[in-house]
Amino acid sequence: MRSRTSDTSNSAEKSTQTTLDEEKYRHSKLKFKIGCILISLGVLLTSSSAGWDITNHLINKPETFFSTPHLLLYTGVVVATLGSVIMFVSKRSFANQGKFKLPMRLVIIGILMVVIAGPFDYNWHVAFGLDGLLSPSHLILTFGLFLASIGALSGLVFARNFSPLLTSQKRENQIEQEGKPKQSVVLLGMDNLLSVIGILPLWITATGLLYMFSLPFSDTQSFDFNPDPTFAAIFATIGLPLLLSTILYLSYGLNYRFGILSITGAAFLLISILTTMIPNESLVPTISFYFLSIIPFVVADTILSYSKTKSLQYVAGGILGSCSFMVYYPFITYVYNGVFTHDVVFPSLIALVYSELMISSYSLLVGPLIVSGILGVILGRYIISHSKILEQKIE
């Protein structure tokens, strides 16, 4: 009788402890997610503001240290730094921290690079005057934002898939996995939204890196870092559709639900409109044309969501690649103008030069763009499968 009473007492204590551990885990997981969200939003704000700042430079708009794009850029850095602190503190509460080491390291390295880039950029200005798009300080800043965005996105994905039960008891792991389809619509919608928030800053910062080596905005009085026009065109023809297709395939592959790819693409178009087109009044009439790029996004989203065959996934990648010439408007005008039209691209003439490029050059570019888009799907498939293998190894 005493043995039964003792067993019952031990079982109750174990159950209570398990409940407390689960509550602690849920609290830590929530804080960790909040940290990742803040990092993603901070990077998104900073990188988007940088695009706005480039546009202001192109239209020769007078600016000060406290201009709106600058203030938003600095605010984004502060938000991302705060998020990294919350992410680091909450990670220490997890019983198994191994899964979160990679995201944390990427975030720490990225944020440190961003913080270092600030004074470096100031000293560069003092020493050499105005700088262009490609400069050592800007490269450090953009690459730091890129690493931080990868860390935040992977942190959100790991936190979504991770449970303390995954690493302790196999049986409970099975229960956890079986319970996932019963997730509430609200929680499922939140996970989908977090995927969009995590992917957007990665897309924009990676685009910024590609722009640095393809746009002719880096010729200053002290240095000429402008890329060779032919190299820039080839680099952009391969890199931009490859990035677009990879990112949008990842947005689908992280959720396998219709609509997420389209929402991610629409958000990118909206950010581009707000930061590169509305500030330039001459581009405002082209906004409706630009937003038609949502159509290939929806088509690719439909193909990926309702067909699981590889061949049709590659078709979706080709569609995404082919529309990159439109999605990266208006800056793409400057890339191909150096090779095809050789016009002087004043901000007020961007739409005219772009239309000339569309007529004379798009038919030559569409083939390579489609191939790069297909390669993007292949890369996206590899990243998703490799990340799953990585998670299993850590567990």
Query: What whole-number distance in Å separates Cα of residue 101 and Cα of residue 208?
Result: 26
- Domain ranges (residues) in the chain: 26-208, 228-395
CA 125, 126, 130, 132 torsion-angle sign: negative
CA 131 to chain centre: 26
Return the SS3 of 223: coil
Alpha helix locations (H) across the chain? 2-58, 68-91, 101-128, 136-161, 170-179, 185-212, 229-253, 260-272, 287-291, 294-306, 310-322, 324-327, 332-337, 350-394
Task: Give me the pLDDT at residue 168, please.
Answer: 43
Exposed, middle or buried, 321 (CB in 10 Å: 0-12/13-18/19+)?
Answer: buried
Q: Which residues pair with 224 in a beta bridge?
A: 219
Q: For the CA atoms of 180, 181, 184, 187, what is the dihedral angle to 10 degrees?
A: 50
H or E element in which residue 256 lies: none
The pLDDT tens digits along the chain (395 residues) read 555 555 555 555 555 545 545 666 677 778 888 999 999 999 999 999 988 888 887 877 656 666 788 888 889 999 999 999 998 887 665 545 566 788 889 999 999 999 999 888 888 888 887 778 888 999 999 999 999 999 999 888 887 776 544 444 444 444 344 444 444 545 555 667 788 899 999 999 999 999 999 999 988 888 889 999 999 999 999 999 999 999 999 999 888 788 899 999 999 999 999 999 999 999 999 999 999 999 999 999 999 998 878 899 999 999 999 999 999 999 999 999 988 878 778 888 999 999 999 999 999 999 999 999 999 999 999 998 877 544 544 44
